Amino acid sequence: MPQHPPRERDWLRVMNTVLELVCPAGALPALRAAVDNGADWVYFGLRDNTNARNFAGLNFDERSAREGIRYAHDAGARTILAINTFPQADSWERWHRAIDAAADIGVDAVILADPGLMRYASRRHPTLPLHLSVQASATNFEAINLYHEQFGVNRAVLPRVLSLAQVEQVIKNTEVEIEVFGFGSLCVMVEGRCVLSSYATGKSPNTGGVCSPAKSVRWEPAGDKMNVRLDGVLIDQFEAGEHAGYPTICKGRYTVADETYYAIEEPSSLNALELLPQLAAMGVAAIKIEGRQRSPAYVAEVTRVWRDAIDECKAGRFSVKPQWKAGLAKIAEGTQHTLGAYNRKWK
């Protein structure tokens, strides 16, 4: 067998990998935008708190879900239903019905976070593929292997808190396909464990499906400024003309030791485009795009860029193109982006 230099071997692994693109859909127009621009998978949720983007005006009923699945399948794309919140004691049947609906309408997989739901799905619908949600907070291969052994999970989405070295360690020690976030809103918490918003609104994203419920958000003019409150709690103040993203507790500005600043995290988007060859070489199975709450135009642009980038990467001629950077910069949260935990040098 011919021997190849290390760098050439890396490119051979990249070119031979099956690197898929997983894109968001908050409604049918976004699903069509994802499919039309090259998504391999499109994920969506139902219109209730069984999914973690439970915003008014978003998500799918049975009719639109069937229409979206048909549209995706006709184009050769696959679909995933996100049932990625945790059942509550007074309404757990809703989550079981969501899994039954997923099997009935013909999705290609479901994204689950709760072990009880995984047991229900694996027993009631044994042929329905299970993907481990980022909300399950599985940050090590032991946890992922346990979900695989107990429930047959065949793909896991890693939380956005791992360095590249940690991602590689997980991949080397599991047969489960690993999916990582490539672009979108950067969650600064270990997903599945965030209850910050519940202090202000009484709702947690892991139970109510949204970290800042729209009914709790108030925009209040204050002279030439704009105050933002969640159920009366002031979390930010914007100057006239200043870009204002959707308000969340973790990305608010607070006064600490007489200084007002983004004390927890600045609003910015994760953008791992430049790391794509490294992610492919270490065996990442899929790149996930965040943004079910974003517009069809956002979905179209980010899908188009990442489709082109993945194709270039697998062809062995990858370099970040100026038009890719420009396209993603204009839709980044806060109009800025970061490599997030991937760039942690101390790991």
155 bridge partner residues? 131, 177
In sequence order, which residues have a C-beta less than 8 Å from that of residue 121 and are 6 or more positions away?
Answer: 99, 110, 112, 128, 130, 151
Query: Which has the minimum average pLDDT: 186-190, 196-200, 320-324?
Result: 186-190
CB 121 within 8 A of CB 106: no
Per-residue pLDDT tens for 233-244? 898 988 887 877
Instruction: For residues 23 and 131, state if they share a domain.
Output: yes
Instruction: For residues 291 and 256, state if they share a domain.
Output: no
Instruction: Report the pLDDT value the prediction gives residue 15, as an integer from 0 to 100.
Output: 53
The strand order across the sheet containing 225-230 reads 217-222, 225-230, 233-239
Instruction: Report the pLDDT value the prediction gives residue 46, as an integer from 0 to 100.
Output: 96
Which CATH number do you get for residue 127?
3.20.20.70
Q: Of the segments 176-190, 209-223, 242-256, 269-283, which one has the largest average pLDDT value? A: 269-283
Instruction: Report the pLDDT value the prediction gives residue 203, as an integer from 0 to 100.
Output: 76
Instruction: Report the pLDDT value the prediction gives residue 335, as an integer from 0 to 100.
Output: 60
Whether 279 maps to a domain, the answer reads: yes
Query: Which has the minimum average pLDDT: 90-99, 315-324, 328-337?
Result: 328-337
Phi, psi values for residue 259, rounded to 5°: -120, 130
Per-residue pLDDT tens for 250-286? 788 888 888 888 877 777 778 999 999 999 999 999 9
Whether 74 maps to a domain, the answer reads: yes
Instruction: Report the pLDDT value the prediction gives residue 92, as an integer from 0 to 100.
Output: 93
| 237: enclosing H helix or E strand | strand 233-239
DSSP assignment letter at 50:
T
Instruction: Report the pLDDT value the prediction gives residue 2, as an integer from 0 to 100.
Output: 40
Q: What is the tally of structural domains in the chain?
A: 2
| 201: enclosing H helix or E strand | helix 198-201
Q: Range of 226's domain?
A: 198-261
Instruction: Report the pLDDT value the prediction gives residue 289, as an integer from 0 to 100.
Output: 97
**The domain boundary residue, chosen from 235, 261, 287:** 261
User: What is the mean pLDDT of the segment spanning 10-39?
Assistant: 85
Whether 84 maps to a domain, the answer reads: yes
Residue 54 has pLDDT above 50, yes or no: yes
